[in-house]
Structure 1
Amino acid sequence: MTIWAIGDIQGCFDSLQRLLDKCRFDPAQDQLWMVGDLVNRGPQSLETLRFIRSLGASAITVLGNHDLYLLMVAANAVPRRGKDDTLDPIFAAPDVADLLDWLKTQPLAHAQVLDGQRYVMVHAGLLPEWTADDALALSAEVSRHLRGPQFAPFLNALWGDSPLGWHKQLNELDRARVIVNAMTRMRFCSKQGVMDLKIKGKPENAPVGHVPWFEVPGRKTAKDTLVVGHWSALGLKMTPNLVALDSGCLWGGHLTAVSLPEREVIQVSCTTCR
């Protein structure tokens, strides 16, 4: 079996199909790890959702910020984004309820040991004080809300940037907002674990007092390997303990697959996605 970790698709379904063909992906024996942002801005979000859902256990998906945006729009929790929002075909589809119900069951974090090394997949990143076990527990905490009867009010409460840091005395909804913002939106944080959610540029553009989240000294997942997406300005980046996969397919870059744990890299050009 080959495990292929796939970067942000964002509705670039044709690029995904070309990439999987190039990987010789066989759902009967291989597995995909999807780092989130399956949908939005690209032209084929509906086809992407249907395909990933159809793979069943052959695809493991974590939620990205655009996937949560889809759920928030469906729950009337946020306003639509205008021309950058390409979700209308999903809402017009006869199977929209099934697709949204499936999306709500996807976690924020996944962890698995491969060849003796623990791999942790999230869309964006993890705060430095969180262990991998913490990440799984916090992901499950959010999932209980998404799968529960009060998911719409919960999604309403998720919108916002504050608080920017974690402490155990946070109330339930503030806890959830920090968890979601760290795992689906974070790029930079301070050595004390305070996020900056405004700056979206390259790592060298870090705001004063902040560094890329994976460079915080002493973070508790430093010995695990984090598999992430979200940061197209970072591009494909691989270190002993990081596999960052957002290589800007939506923006005319590449869609990237990396085999785990072997780290074979396969890419396709995405110049025709938008």
Structure 2
Amino acid sequence: MKRKLMISDIHGCLEQLNKLLEVAEYYPGEDQLILLGDYVDRGPRSRETVDRVMELVHDHGAIALKGNHDERLVEFIWNGGLEDKSKFFQYGGMETLRSYVPFGVGPDTECLVDDARMIIQRNYKEHLEFLQSLPLYYEDEKHICVHAGLNPQFRDWKEQPPRDFMYMKGEFHRSPNKTGKTVVFGHTRAAELHDSPDIWFSDGKIGIDGGCAYGMQLNGLVYQNDSYRSYVVGNFKQKT
């Protein structure tokens, strides 16, 4: 049976992503890689991470889902409204701009921020279109993979609002999983679920966000032959 390797919340931690693929012995022709969103913000190399994700999808058949940070980046770059700007910089957007533009940018320097937005619109339109086009979930015979979670108020989880796939938290964590499949998700750091950055295994739910951009770790979950195996790469020092 083909291995399935699931990773979430890379957040610009490109070195850790590449190291994790190496540690997990990822082989594109034999393994199915599933990335659960949030490729940008907080970490140091968002631009390069998006390049890498695009390569993995286009050249190696990886599946990439959309996270809330990915959507927020697209909205901010194209629209640049006050609310978009506030949320963008509040949740790690500064690091993303610095990875895309060759000059210093600050949230209070309107001219430089607008210049940065225009540079990204002009030079990285392919990135924006790629992130905007990403699906919100992936489903196979055993799993439902989403960035954040499923809203238990919907009998048919596919009918929940798009925002829920990218933002759902507490109610999803607390409610029983009635889908008949294991839900694999990121968005909420595992350390918030069980006081450890290691993968959180619960009844029908698996949380894999290791909080790498917060100085913790990047987790990889491998599923094969009805069993799971975890792989870990540490923070920016790349401790394994």
Flag whether TM exceeds 0.5 (same fold): yes
Aligned: 1:98 with 2:126: yes
In structure 2, distance between residues paired with 1:48 and 1:264: 24
- Counterpart of 1:168 in structure 2 is none
- Counterpart of 1:84 in structure 2 is 92
| Residues 130 and 220, structure 1, Cα contact 8 Å, conserved in 2 | no
In structure 1, distance between residues paired with 2:174 and 2:220: 23
What CA deviation, in whole Å up to 9, does each residue of 1:4-32 have, x standing for no partner? 00121000000101111101112222221
In structure 2, distance between residues paired with 1:101 and 1:271: 29
SS at match of 2:154: coil
- Counterpart of 1:112 in structure 2 is 140
The CA deviation at 1:99 is: 1.2
What CA deviation, in whole Å up to 9, does each residue of 1:159-192 have, x standing for no partner? xxxxxxxxxxxxxxxxxxx431x22122112xxx
Instruction: Pick which of 72-81 and 3-12 moved more.
Output: 72-81
Question: Kindly, what percent of the aligned residue pairs are identical?
Answer: 28
SS at match of 1:243: strand
In structure 2, distance between residues paired with 1:184 and 1:20: 24
The CA deviation at 1:96 is: 0.7
SS at match of 2:231: strand
Aligned: 1:270 with 2:235: yes
Extract unaligned runs of 5+ from structure 1.
Answer: 139-177, 190-212
Q: Which amino acid aligns with 2:223?
A: L
- Counterpart of 2:169 in structure 1 is 187
| Residues 252 and 272, structure 1, Cα contact 8 Å, conserved in 2 | no
Q: Which amino acid aligns with 2:187?
A: H
The CA deviation at 1:229 is: 0.4
In structure 2, distance between residues paired with 1:58 and 1:72: 27
What CA deviation, in whole Å up to 9, does each residue of 1:195-239 have, x standing for no partner? xxxxxxxxxxxxxxxxxx23314x532x21001001112242013
Matching residue within 58, 62, 66 for 2:65: 62
- Counterpart of 1:248 in structure 2 is 211
- Counterpart of 2:183 in structure 1 is 226
The CA deviation at 1:61 is: 1.3
The CA deviation at 1:257 is: 0.5
Structure 1 or 2: more helix by fraction: 2
Matching residue within 215, 229, 242 for 2:174: 215
RMSD: 2.2
- Counterpart of 1:25 in structure 2 is 26
In structure 2, distance between residues paired with 1:134 and 1:82: 30
The CA deviation at 1:240 is: 4.7
Q: Which amino acid aligns with 2:92?
A: D
- Counterpart of 2:105 in structure 1 is none
Cα 1:82–1:225 change in 2 (3 A) is: closer
